Each structure stands twice: as structure tokens, then as C-alpha cells.
Amino acid sequence: MNVLILGAGGREHALSWKISQSSILNKLFVAPGNAGTANIATNVDLLVTDFDAIANFCLANNIEMIVVGPEAPLVEGIHDYFEQHEQLNKISIIGPKKLGATLEGSKRFAKEFMMKHHIPTAKYKAFTKDTLEEGYNFLENLTAPYVLKADGLAGGKGVLILNDIDKAKEGLTEMLTQDKFGEAGNEVVIEEFLDGIELSVFVLTDGDSYKILPEAKDYKRIGEGDTGLNTGGMGAISPVKFADSLFMTKVESQIVTPTIQGFKKDGIDYKGFVFIGLMNVNGNPYVIEYNVRMGDPETEVVIPRIKSDLLDLFEGVATNTLSERDLEISDQTVCTVMAVSGGYPETYEKGKEITGLESVTESIPFHAGTKSVNEKVHTNGGRVIAVSSMGRNTKEALEKSYTSLAKISYEAMYYRKDIGFDLD
């Protein structure tokens, strides 16, 4: 099979690393990719939302399957676009159509879906600038902290969690009337605060059956001890101890099954990943958000734990035969530690030469923001390299990642030294 992966981060490097090992792969392309994917696939200079250019490339290169990494092409309808064009509709797309992608594209839509299908989530109400006063009243009837979410896509930055009622009203006013978070904030979901520990659960579905992939914990804050600004993710670990079989049984019966059945009931044709961000509140799972793609950096720990052929599973998704495919998961622990550019998640510089990657032997350095320049690897983003390692336990896996990170160097390199501090 000829496969095109869309995206340029650590998630896409991890997906290409795994797919490149498949016995049914012929040629692998990544658009636009990075210096890591260039070593195992052919990078193609395409914008992930330029559907015409992607279509032309697919036709010229006999692409049979597109694996969509990030959410933007899905929310903009890449799956619908390919299905609607006669020459393109034989190409399988791993990722939902626009309607399914709305689960990530609109928080209100996701909340309504959960309410309708009795999926546990925080109580909420949605407001627009015409209902601002009602929003203030709703806030007054909640207790602190107050959770305000821009309805639309805001690059993971559209959530405010505030302790003070006046600050919460100010935040709501700024989102609804002053374009804080731009158009994404034209509608705001206000919800009850859930006090617990977060977990990322991943499901692969062909629309009828599903497989639950390894779960992971993501470390989102820039600073050690989970302090400072939110980032795209500074590290991840899988498996997660508190996600034991009792907890995961609740996740499956209360969340995963009703979600997949909800798709069918609502006529949502869903083929791809469902990423369920949830909170464990006193042993019970509540959905915080749905994403319609894999997480990053969670993919860098989830994928190495999958022993089965990922392309075979994807073929099962495309042909509605997922239930006939095997998913074998390693019981080893995988951790990843993200090295970032100094200054991230605020301003940072790019174009710094990265050295030492070739001396990493015990870990897989998944490239997140890198670029090849004259045979050298340069930094090309905030998150630069996710160093993933496998071990018998969290401690062993982490030691390998930290040993490997000590061999890698670039100007103003930073990474958290305490990933996993709250586990084991």
C-alpha cells in the first residue's frame, strides 16, 4: 500500500516510524514532515489544508491511504472532500468526516453529544454575546474555580480556569465581546470544575467496532511540578497505574461504548481515532474533551507499545473489518520527554543546530520541530525532540530517556527533569 501521512510533529514521526515497519507498506510519504520523517519516508512539501494540492499528489503517486495527523484538515473536511470526488473516493482516509470532527471543532457540539448519550461530563451551559448577562448569572450560581472554554479551535489555548468570580466575568466578557481567542470565542462554554487526575484514552474505530489503544498521561505545563504556562505537552507515560482494569471497565462502559453507539445513532460516519481527555474524579471517569486525532506527545508513547501491524489495523478501519484484526499491546512502560526551544511556549528562536542524535542508542528520538539544512538537523519549532524509551517500569524507561537527552544538544535546549514525578 502507498500511504501519505499528513502533519509535521512528533506524532507524525511516531506514526511513520511504526507504519514504515508494516509488511503491507509499499511507499510512505509524509507532508510536510520533518528531519526525522525524512529518514524513513519521503517528505512532500504540501500544506495539510491545501486539499487540491494533496489530491493532485495522491493521484500522481497512487496513494491508497491518507493518515491525518492534526485536527485542522479533519475539521475543514478533508475526508468529505475526498469522498465527494470520483477519482479520489477510493483513497481511504484515516480520520473522521467534518461532522465527526465537530466533536473537537466545537465544545458546545461535544457537550450536547455527551448529554444526549448520557456520557459523564461536567455540567455546563453555552453563551454568546447576546446572552452575556445570563452567563454572569450562571457563573454566580457556580462555585470557584470557574472553567470557561472558547467553543471553537484555539490551538489548545482556549480554556480559562479562574478562581475569582470577577475575573471569570471579565474573561467571559473579553471572549464574547472583545475577540479574545478570535472567532473561536464567539460562543463560550462555562462548565463545572472537575477535581481529579487527567488521563488520555485513545480509541480506534471503523464506525462499527472499536479497539481501545494504550492509555497515557500527558504533562502539559512548562515547569517542573506541573507549574507555569500550558504547552502542547512536555512528556508522557504509558501505561498509567491508576487506569487499572476496574477504572478502564468504567471508561469503556460509560464512555467508549456510548460514544461509538452515539456516532451510529446520530448518523456520524466515523473512521479514525477518538482521543478522550478525561478526569478521574474519585475513581469515576468524566470526559473533559474529545479530540478527533491522536495526542502529541501521547502518540510517542502509545505507538511504541503497539506490537501489531498498525497499517493492518488501519486497513481494518478503512474496510469496516477492524473487529477481525489483532491488537497486541506490550506490557512494558514507555515514557517520552520533550526537549523544547528555550522561551517556549512564549517566544523562542529556531534554526539552532542539533548535535548528538546519532549517539542515542537506548531511546527513539522522535522529531517534533526539526528541519534538515545542508545535511544537518536544525530546530524548527517550540517542541523539538520527543525522546521515547521503553523499560520494565516507569523508572527504567525514564532513566533511558534522560541518559539519551544528555547526549543531545542545541542552544537554549530545555526539558522537564521530573516527568512521571507523580506516578509510581
List interacting residues with ligand GLY (CB under 6 A).
156, 218, 233, 291, 295-296, 298
How many residues belong to the chain? 424
Among 208, 226, 289, 362, interactor with ligand AMP by CB under 6 A: 289
Helix (H, G, I), strand (E, B) or coil at 156: coil
Closest CA to 9 of 384, 305, 342: 384
Closest separation in Å from C-beta 1 to ligand GLY: 26
Burial 406-421 (b: 16+ CB within 10 A, else e): ebbebeebbbbeebbe
C-alpha triplet 317, 318, 321: angle, nearest 5°: 55
Closest separation in Å from C-beta 43 to ligand GLY: 22
Among 32, 277, 342, 356, interactor with ligand AMP by CB under 6 A: 277
Q: Which does 402 bind (CB under 5 to 8 A by kind): ligand AMP, ligand GLY, none?
A: none
Helix (H, G, I), strand (E, B) or coil at 305: helix
Q: Which does 298 bind (CB under 5 to 8 A by kind): ligand GLY, ligand AMP, none?
A: ligand GLY
Question: Closer CB to ligand GLY, residue 64 or residue 226?
Answer: 226
Q: Which does 194 bind (CB under 5 to 8 A by kind): ligand AMP, ligand GLY, none?
A: ligand AMP
Grid coordinates representing 104?
473537537
Q: Which does 387 bind (CB under 5 to 8 A by kind): ligand AMP, ligand GLY, none?
A: none
Among 198, 224, 252, 312, interactor with ligand AMP by CB under 6 A: 198
Question: Closer CB to ligand GLY, residue 156 or residue 356?
Answer: 156
> Judging by beta carbons within 10 Å of its beta carbon (0-12, 13-18, 19+), is residue 208 exposed, middle or buried?
middle
Closest CA to 235 of 253, 251, 220: 220
- Contact between 95 and 78 (Cβ < 8 Å): yes
> Judging by beta carbons within 10 Å of its beta carbon (0-12, 13-18, 19+), is residue 28 exposed, middle or buried?
buried
Question: Closer CB to ligand AMP, residue 156 or residue 391?
Answer: 156
Task: Identify any residues that bridge with 334 across adjacent strands, giving them in sequence order.
Answer: 238, 390
Give the residue closest to ligand GLY by C-beta: 295
Binding of ligand AMP at residue 191 (CB under 6 A)? Answer: yes
- Contact between 17 and 366 (Cβ < 8 Å): yes
Q: Which residue has the cell 527513539?
A: 364
Grid coordinates representing 249?
471497565
Among 30, 91, 99, 147, interactor with ligand AMP by CB under 6 A: 147
Question: Closer CB to ligand AMP, residue 93 or residue 423?
Answer: 423
Which region among 43-51, 154-162, 293-301, 330-338 touches ligand AMP (by CB under 6 A)?
Answer: 154-162
Binding of ligand AMP at residue 226 (CB under 6 A)? Answer: no
Which residue ranges make up the site for ligand AMP (CB under 6 A)?
122, 147, 149, 156, 159, 161, 191, 193-194, 198, 277, 288-289
